[in-house]
Amino acid sequence: MKKIEIYDTTLRDGAQGEGVSFSLQDKLLITQRLDELGVDFIEGGYPLSNEKDAEYFRRVQEMDLKHAKICAFGMTRRKGIKAADDPGMKALVGSGAPIITIVGKTHDFHVTDVLRVTLEENLEMIADTVKHCVNSGREVIYDAEHFFDGWKANPKYAAKTICAAAEAGARMIVMCDTNGGCLPEEITEFTKAALETLKPYDVPVGIHTHNDGDLAVANSLASVDAGALQVQGTINGFGERCGNSDLLSVAANLKLKKQGYDVLCEDSIVHLTELSRYVYDTANVARRNNQAFVGKSAFAHKGGMHVHAINRAASSYEHIAPEIVGNERRVLVSELSGRSNIVAKTTKHNLQNDPEMQAKILAQVVDLENQGYQFEAAEASFDLLVKKVAGTFKKHFEPIKYHVEVEDQVAHEDLALTTEATVKLTVDGDLRHEVGEGDGPVDALDAALRKALNGSFPALRDMSLVDYKVRVVNSEAGTAARTRVTIESTDGTDVWGTIGVSENIIQASWNALVDAIEYKLNKDEQA
- Other Cβ atoms less than 10 A from the Cβ of 489: the count is 24
Cα 79 to Cα 474: distance, rounded to the nearest angstrom: 60
In which band, very low, low, confident or very high, does the pLDDT at 468 lie, cut at 50, 70 and 90?
confident
Give residue 113's pLDDT.
Answer: 93
HEC string of 486-521 equals EEEEECCCCEEEEEEEECCHHHHHHHHHHHHHHHHH
Q: Looking at the chain, how many residues does it have?
A: 527
What are the pLDDT digits (tens) for 267-292?
Answer: 899 999 999 988 988 888 888 989 99
Q: Which amino acid is at 413?
A: E
The three-class DSSP label of residue 470 is strand
> How much of the chain exceeds pLDDT 90, in percent?
63
Cα 500 to Cα 471: distance, rounded to the nearest angstrom: 11
Cα 437 to Cα 445: distance, rounded to the nearest angstrom: 8
What are the pLDDT digits (tens) for 155-209?
Answer: 999 999 999 999 999 999 999 999 999 999 999 999 999 999 999 999 999 999 9
What's this model's pTM, rounded to 2 decimal places?
A: 0.72
Does 314 score more than 80 pLDDT? no
Does 401 score more than 70 pLDDT? yes
Nearest to 268 by CA among 43, 11, 99, 40: 40
Does 360 score more than 80 pLDDT? yes
| Among the ranges given (19-23, 32-36, 345-349, 435-439), the one the predictor scored with the smallest mean pLDDT | 345-349
> How much of the chain exceeds pLDDT 70, in percent?
89
Does 339 score more than 60 pLDDT? no
Q: Evaluate whether 130 touches 102 at the Cβ level (below 8 Å).
A: yes
Give residue 517's pLDDT.
Answer: 94
Domains parsed from the chain with CATH numbers: 2-265 (3.20.20.70), 300-390 (no CATH), 398-526 (3.30.160.270)
